[in-house]
């Protein structure tokens, strides 16, 4: 089960190889003891999970992994909740990053913030709020 992972002795080599736990899963695992029973975790992912771009394979992999984790962890950590916010490129950063997202609309940070509020204050779990 997700919660009952024993601690290992000695040095851990976090971030190396496929067997290492990601920072996201570790954040949620350790956070369970510090969040109210019906509290929630809200993670961020992105449009690249569904709309890959050139030179973005690693980001697409990471985004897709976060989304899969949210759906799976929602089952395991109940009554705690876990969701993700998945925006496209922020309108406020179009000057810097817009060329990497051709043909994709942008989203203002105000809408991203509203999605976080919906995730934290709402009752849903396992949801990816796509913007």
**CA-angle at 121, arms to 35 and 22, nearest 5°:** 50
Encode pLDDT of 4-41 as tens digits: 454 444 444 433 444 344 788 888 999 999 999 889 99
Encode pLDDT of 39-58 as tens digits: 999 999 999 999 998 889 99
Could you tell me the pTM of the whole model? 0.80
Judge contact between 28 and 41, C-beta under 8 A: yes
Helix, coil or strand: residue 87: coil
* Band (89; pLDDT cuts 50, 70, 90): very high
- Kindly state the tokens that stand for 113: 């913030």
Give the chain's radius of gyration (CA, Å).
16
- Kindly state the tokens that stand for 55: 């030179």
Judge contact between 89 and 107, C-beta under 8 A: yes
């Amino acid at each position: 089960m997700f919660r009952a992972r024993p601690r290992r002795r000695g040095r851990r080599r976090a971030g190396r190889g496929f067997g290492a736990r990601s920072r996201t899963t570790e954040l949620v695992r350790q956070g369970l003891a510090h969040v109210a029973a019906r509290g929630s975790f809200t993670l961020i992912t992105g449009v690249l999970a569904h709309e890959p771009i050139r030179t973005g394979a690693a980001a697409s992999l990471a985004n897709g992994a976060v989304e899969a984790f949210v759906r799976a962890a929602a089952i395991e950590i109940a009554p705690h909740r876990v969701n993700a916010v998945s925006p496209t490129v922020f309108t406020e950063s179009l000057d810097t990053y817009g060329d990497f997202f051709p043909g994709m609309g942008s989203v203002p940070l105000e809408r991203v913030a509203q999605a976080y509020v919906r995730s934290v204050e709402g009752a849903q779990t396992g949801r990816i709020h796509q913007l």
